[in-house]
Amino acid sequence: MSQNHYNDREPVIRVVKRAELPDRQITLLRLLALILALAAGGLFILCVGYNPFVIYGTILSGALRSPMAIQATVKIIIPLLITSLGVTLAFKMRFWNIGAEGQIIMGAVFASYFALFHANWNHWVLILVMAAAGMIGGGLWGLLPAWFKANYGTNETLFTLMLNYKALHIVSWLQDGPWRDPGSQGFAKIARFDKNASLDKVLGVHFGWIIALILIVIVYVYLRYTKQGYEISVVGESQETARYAGMNVKKVLLRTMLLSGAVCGLCGMIQATGSDITLTTGVTGGVGFTAIIVAWLSQLNPVTILIVSVLFGILEKGSSVIQSSFGLSTDCADVLQGIILFFVLGCEFFIRYRLVARKKKDGGKERNKGGER
């Protein structure tokens, strides 16, 4: 093998793991990714024939232009925020809970039972019972895949995914049959909840936002400072190590998924009783999936989750405004969210790895493309 031949075969760019980057540089890199994503989104908007600056401007002003708009934006943020916190618990343990949708629905179903059939209870007792029911509903729906994972190693990604649709069809069955509103003609739906069974408003928005803010603190403290939180991160990192340290991995798995599902279930209760004031198949609004993006974008950090949720909330509310003013579909928000995550996912690579260009040896061949720094 001649020396020259060897050089020809050496790749132009090689990937190597890098040592930890300083936090500031990581943040900078992520911001850069976000800006690039917005630029790419702008390019997309330009392609459809609109001025990206105008569109972005409208999104921002549309979401925040008036107290009413802000209230609507907050209403979008609440479920996103709570669900993201819920899946974060599971993701921290590297348990791929793709089932937030189903857990939200089951929480809403459990809570709705009391809203529909015990609406005459004392208001605060009813609210508390509904919240507990929602948490139990979501928790049990989360416990199921965890139990199978713990005992048989059943793949949780696919199992939780299947559970979403089962929950969805449970609701469509309820509204078709047992819980169908007799007052609705022809169209199958569940009756609107009694006012006594709906969440009170604080500053114009149902008080789910207060619960969401409290949950941020709870989840943050739980993951960061408690023994159980420590167990979650060790189990997530290596189950072998967790066993070695004397942790009961099964127990941690079940407990964490119960909690993760419970938080999502609580979100379902809040959506049904605070936002929709009834139970529909659309109770989640796809939040269970978007929350996964939010949690991942936020590096599973509860405080960052708040920021990203607000960003996504603005994007979504703003998109409904550009629909009314420019006739562009609200799906614009999904597209932009997708682009942002694609870019941030891509940028993670540059945080963890470094590109090394081939050393200059035989002049002409050198192409130092793409190598950062």
Partner 1 sequence: MSVSEKQTVEILKVLYRGAQILILDEPTAVLTPQETEKLFAILRKMKEQGCAIIIITHKLHEVLEISDRVTILRKGKSIDTIETAQADEKLLTELMVGQAVSLEIERPLIEDRTPILKVVDLTVTRPDGSRASDDISFEIRRGEILGVAGVAGSGQKELCEAIAGLMKIDKGAILYEKENIIGKTPAEIIQLGISMSFVPEDRLGMGLVASMGMVENMLLKTYRNGRGPFVDRRPARELAEKLVTELDIVTPGVNTPVRLMSGGNVQKVLLGREIESKPNLLITAYPVRGLDIHSSYTIYDLLNEQKKRNVAVIFIGEDLDVLLELSDVIMVLSHGKITGFLDARKATKEQVGLYMTGAADKEVGA
Partner 2 sequence: MEFIINFLVAAVAAGTPLLFGTLGEIMNEKVGHLNLGVEGMMSIGACAGLLAGYHTDNFIIALAAAFLAAALSALVYALLTVTLMANQNVTGLTLTIFGIGLSNFIGIWALEHSETGTLKLPEMITAQMRDIHIPGLSDLPVAGPLLFSYSPFVYIGILIAIVLAFYLNKTKSGLNLQAIGHNPGAADAAGIKVTQYKYASILLGGGICGIGGAYCAMIINGGVWVNNNVGGLGWIAVALVIFANWKPVNAIGGSFVFGALRILKYYVPKSIFPLPNAFYDMMPFLITALILVITSMRKKRNLSLPAHLGNNYFREER
Task: Please state, in angstroms and rounded to a whole number, the distance separating the CA atoms of residues 199 and 272.
Answer: 9
Query: Which residues of this protein are in contact with partner 2, per CB under 8 A?
Result: 15-17, 48, 96, 98, 148, 152-155, 157-159, 161-163, 165-166, 169-170, 172-173, 176-177, 286, 289-290, 292-293, 296, 327-329, 331-335, 337-339, 341-342, 345-346, 348-349, 352-353
Closest CA to 77 of 259, 298, 313: 313
CA distance 39 to 45: 10
Query: 127 or 247: whose CB is closer to partner 1?
Result: 247
User: CA 120, CA 140: separation in Å to the nearest integer?
Assistant: 27
Q: Which does 266 bind (CB under 5 to 8 A by kind): partner 2, partner 1, none?
A: none
Distance of CA 16 to CAs 26, 28, 348, Å? 17, 21, 14
Choose from partner 1, partner 2, none: what does 246 bind? Cβ within 5-8 Å by kind. partner 1
Q: Are 220 and 302 in contact (CB under 8 A)?
A: yes
| 20 touching partner 1, by CB under 8 A | yes
Does 230 participate in binding partner 1 (rule CB under 8 A)? yes
Residue of the chain from 246, 327, 363, 370 that contacts partner 1 (CB under 8 A)? 246
Q: In this structure, is the dihedral angle defined by the CA atoms of residues 168, 134, 146 and 293, taken in order, positive or negative?
A: positive
Residues 247-266 that bind partner 1 (CB under 8 A): 247-248
| Residue 98's binding partner out of partner 1, partner 2, none, with CB under 5 to 8 Å set by partner kind | partner 2
Q: Which is nearer to partner 2, 129 or 341 (CB)?
A: 341
Least distance in Å: CB of 206 to partner 1?
31
Could you say which of 234, 257, 258, 306 contacts partner 1 (CB under 8 A)? 234
In a 13 Å sphere around the CA of 45, the CA atoms on its Cβ side amount to: 29
- Pick the closer one to partner 1 by CB: 157 or 238: 238
Task: Please choose, out of 118-126, 228-236, 290-298, 301-309, the segment that lies near partner 1 by the rule CB under 8 A.
Answer: 228-236
Alpha carbons within 13 A on the beta-carbon side of 359 = 3
Task: From the list partner 1, partner 2, none, pick the one residue 280 interacts with, judged by a Cβ distance below 5 to 8 Å according to partner type.
Answer: none
Is residue 49 at the binding interface for partner 1, with CB under 8 A as the rule?
Answer: no
Q: Is 165 in the site for partner 1 (CB under 8 A)?
A: no
Q: CB 348 → partner 2: shortest distance, Å?
A: 6
Decide if 266 contacts 100 (C-beta within 8 A). no
**Under rule CB under 8 A, residue 10 binds partner 1:** no
For residues 94 and 39, give the distance between their C-alpha atoms in angstroms, rounded to a whole number: 32
Round to whole Å and give the CA distance between 256 and 89. Answer: 7
- Angle value at C-alpha 311, between 293 and 36, nearest 5 degrees: 75
By the rule CB under 8 A, 5 interacts with partner 1? no
Asked if 27 is part of the footprint of partner 1 (rule: CB under 8 A), the reply reads no
Residue 313 · residue 80 · CB < 8 Å: yes
Q: Is 227 in the site for partner 1 (CB under 8 A)?
A: yes
CA gap 14, 358 in Å, rounded: 7
Q: Can residue 245 be called a binding residue for partner 1 (CB under 8 A)?
A: yes
**331 touches which of partner 1, partner 2, none (CB within 5 to 8 A by kind)?**
partner 2
What backbone torsions phi and psi does residue 298 show, to the nearest 5 degrees? -90, 5
Interaction of residue 152 with partner 1, rule CB under 8 A = no
- Least distance between partner 2 and beta carbon 163 (Å): 7
Tell the smallest beta-carbon distance from residue 247 to partner 1 (Å). Answer: 8
DSSP string, 64-97: HSSHHHHHHHHHHHHHHHHHHHHHHHHHHTT---
Window of 232-240, 252-260, 291-299, 349-357 that interacts with partner 1 by CB under 8 A: 232-240
| C-alpha span between 316 and 63 (Å, rounded) | 8
The residue ranges that bind partner 1 (CB under 8 A) are 19-20, 225-231, 233-234, 237-238, 240-241, 243-248
